[in-house]
Amino acid sequence: MEKLQFCPHCNKPLAINVHFCSMCGEAISDDAKILEKEKNTRAKLELLQKLIDEVTDINSLKIIQSHLEILK
């Protein structure tokens, strides 16, 4: 018999073998956490790329480019 698990974010009971909490959407499984991390990284890359197109200050541009290199 499996032990009842609870969401670490909202503390609601979880169904067996779920990837995300059905109440709050928190990533539960390792696969779901990897997916969330990839989605967040992709969103950051898109935002930094947009900033590069808009920023005119050279120092800010260098900082943004260094962040892009870290994410890639």
Tens place of pLDDT for every residue, the chain, 72 residues?
Answer: 567 799 999 999 998 889 999 999 999 999 999 999 999 888 988 888 888 888 888 888 888 888 888 877
**For residue 2, what pLDDT is reported?**
63
Give how many domains the chain has, as a whole number: 1
The model carries a pTM of 0.61
* C-beta separation of 61 from 55 below 8 A: yes
* C-beta separation of 31 from 54 below 8 A: no
* C-beta separation of 4 from 13 below 8 A: yes
The domain of 23 spans 5-71
